[in-house]
Chains A and B, each alone.
Chain A
Amino acid sequence: MRVLIVEDDREVARNIAKMLRECGHVADTAHDGEDGLALAREGAFDVLIVDRMMPRRDGLSMVAALRAEGDKTPVLILSALGEVDDRVDGLKAGGDDYLVKPYAPSELIARVDALARRRNPDAVKTRLEVGDLQMDLLARTVKRGGEAILLQPREFRLLEFLMRNAGQVVTRTMLLEKVWDYHFDPQTNVIDVHISRLRAKIDKPFSSSMLHTVRGAGYRLQS
């Protein structure tokens, strides 16, 4: 996957690029909004990582310009501004996800992966399948190896998110944001407990486990 990093802090840009390359991606960098826009217009990127405050042209205006041209490349906005209003502004300008600085590197990678997957028209699917795990989004049923699993509504949404991002690391913060729509940071391990409950239903009765903990990062659903 090709990622464009538009970030005026050269060291930060370099580090992100290095991490992405280590994960096997191709990363390019630009250091202001104008250069970023010019590079993005060439259109060969799968994901754009755009810093919000930059010289020459700020990140929001750059993203808005791209969207106005019909460019639908997923954008992750990086910002030091983390209030609800800031986030809303960022998403309104055409950003697909919003990450507040400072962030853990693993968080950034997980979100970029999730954004890249979003390009696939997963959203219109009515059935999700990972290994022998099947989810019917219309009937709202889950089966593993043909055996029906009864899930609470929240567990269903949690599993849906994990299945949509199967094979990728999803962080606790991502789960809290996408499944619960909370943008704060609980001090206790609430998410871990929800995951272990889900695990008890989709993994425990079966011979192999699918829901893995990735230390220092989050979780990964994998067949």
Chain B
Amino acid sequence: MTQPEGQTWPLPRFLRTTAFRLTLLSAGLFALSSFVILALVYAATVGASMNRADASITAEIAQIEARYAAGGASAANRYIVQRSVGGGEFLYLFLDPDRRRLSGNISGLPAAPADAQGRVRFVYDRAPADGAQGGEGRNARGRIAELSGGHRVFVGMDVEEEARFVSNTLNAVLLASALALGLGIISGAVVSRRFSRRLDAINAAARAIKAGRLETRAPRNHTGDDLDELSSNFNAMLDRVEHLMQRMRTAGDSIAHDLRLPLTRLRGRLEGALIDSDDAEAREAALQRAISDVDELLRTFNAVMSLARLQAGERRRAFETLDITALLSDVAELYEPVCEETGLEFACDCPPGLTLLGDRELIAQAVANILDNAVKYTPGGGAVVLRGRRTAAGALEISVTDTGPGIPMEHRARVLERFVRLEKSRSLPGVGLGLSLVQAIAEVHGAALTLDDGPGAVDGHGPGLRIALTFPAGED
């Protein structure tokens, strides 16, 4: 069977999951580290006992050399014979200068090659007299030494026990590593199954949304673990997107609704001007009105655009430390004549030295919009007060209080929506975006916009309205 190049072999799904790969990796690392640890243990135990054996062999050779030096070959031979018969732990072989065997408990030199110090590792057959345990091919190590008279001696030592320990240890290491790997694969499979089942659910939610079922949300188990957090963030993001879409839809509807009326009116005026084309004065008047209609449309348009941009949160870059005292007195100066003209008492009350981190243009616009409202809705003889202050909690509060009719409690949330104008205000100029803009500006600055009753109802005035922007402390 040929496999087209570039196509991956269809692995079972759980083998392809991130969780499985991670578990496999950690199992592999675990196997490797258990191998390293056991190798260290091996070096510390087996290695040490081998060194001990080598040291005993060297000492025994020294004994033989001493006897050889004192009493010649016969003394050495006697010693070796005694030791061989004594059934000690050593293996001996004593050779004359012609390499003929003189004595010892092994028949010949080990076949294995010796290293530069004469050390050799080999396998030998122990005499069957040793009983049941005396098997074939036991591991041993030894050393060949050249004696001064040309004789040679070999002293060896049985290290079968140690060798067995080595091979047992090695087997254990390999087994442990294999087990670790195997367990890793199994647990990886289990974990990845569980993990991917939850991820699948989130993916399914994403696919459902892609397919247009926008109300779908990722399932949560409320344990607060990472996947739960992912689901929660995912859902929060979807809520935000849905909210924005909802806003845009509403805005789109409102814009369509609010623009249709002036556009229809405009069309009527232009048509009328066309019909009255012989009455120059009437035509001019109609055209002038048409121009102011268009201006009104442009205003609405620009307001809608700034609102949209504000709500998209594009404007944090222009923040700077603002002298709110100066800013308020500037805006007050802009509005004071209008108030005077409409018979309103106007006051600006702000202690020196108030500062705030914000966007000058936006804050000024927010204050101007609130003042616009106050001036528009407060009947002559009333009063409008612009006030800036630091609250006891350290927040900065900018408020405008008027003595107009106020806004009934049940309508307060609604007036912040785009294009909402309470029935009685329909006749006044404006597009109903003012307070939505203020609200959006407050949001950009992390400030709260609150609507309250004004000073109360007196002499046909009031109860009034108090609109406050509260900027949290520590922002400047």
Contact = CB atoms under 8 A, between A and B. Distances in A.
Interface of A: 82-85, 100, 102-104, 154, 180, 182-190, 193-194, 196-197, 215-216
Interface residues of B, number: 38
Nearest to A184: B365
Contacts of A183: 361
Given A104-B294, A187-B430, 9 more contacts: A83-B309, A182-B365, A186-B369, A186-B372, A187-B372, A187-B429, A193-B338, A194-B337, A216-B292
Nearest to B359: A84
A189 B430 contact: no
Main secondary structure of the interface of B (DSSP, over half): helix
Contact of B368 (A154, A184, A197, A216): A184
A197 B340 CA distance: 11
Given A84-B359, A216-B295, A187 B376 contact: yes
Contacts of A84: 315, 318, 359, 361
Contacts of B365: 182, 184
B338 A182 contact: no
Contacts of B361: 84, 182-184
Main secondary structure of the interface of A (DSSP, over half): loop
B302 A102 contact: yes
Interface of B: 288, 291-292, 294-295, 298-299, 301-303, 305-306, 309, 314-315, 317-318, 330, 333-335, 337-338, 340-341, 359, 361, 364-365, 368-369, 372, 375-376, 429-431, 434
Contacts of A194: 334, 337
A189 B368 contact: no
Nearest to A180: B334
Contact of B298 (A85, A102, A186): A102
Nearest to B287: A216
B305 to A, nearest CB: 7
Nearest to B298: A102
A85 B318 contact: yes
29 contacts: A82-B302, A82-B305, A82-B309, A83-B315, A83-B318, A84-B359, A102-B301, A102-B302, A103-B298, A104-B291, A104-B294, A104-B298, A154-B333, A185-B302, A186-B334, A186-B368, A187-B369, A187-B429, A187-B430, A187-B431, A187-B434, A188-B338, A188-B429, A189-B338, A190-B337, A190-B338, A193-B337, A193-B338, A193-B341
A217 to B, nearest CB: 9
Interface centre among B309, B365, B368 (most CB of A within 10 A): B368
A83 B298 CA distance: 17
A204 to B, nearest CB: 15
Contacts of A189: 338
Interface centre among A83, A100, A186, A187 (most CB of B within 10 A): A187
Contacts of B338: 188-190, 193
Contact of B364 (A102, A104, A184): A184
Contacts of B335: 190
Nearest to B432: A187
A62 B365 CA distance: 32
Given A104-B295, A182-B361, A182-B364, A190 B302 contact: no
A61 B305 CA distance: 25
A190 B429 CA distance: 13
Contacts of B330: 180
A185 B299 contact: yes
A102 B315 CA distance: 20
Given A102-B302, A216-B288, A190 B334 contact: yes
A182 B434 CA distance: 16
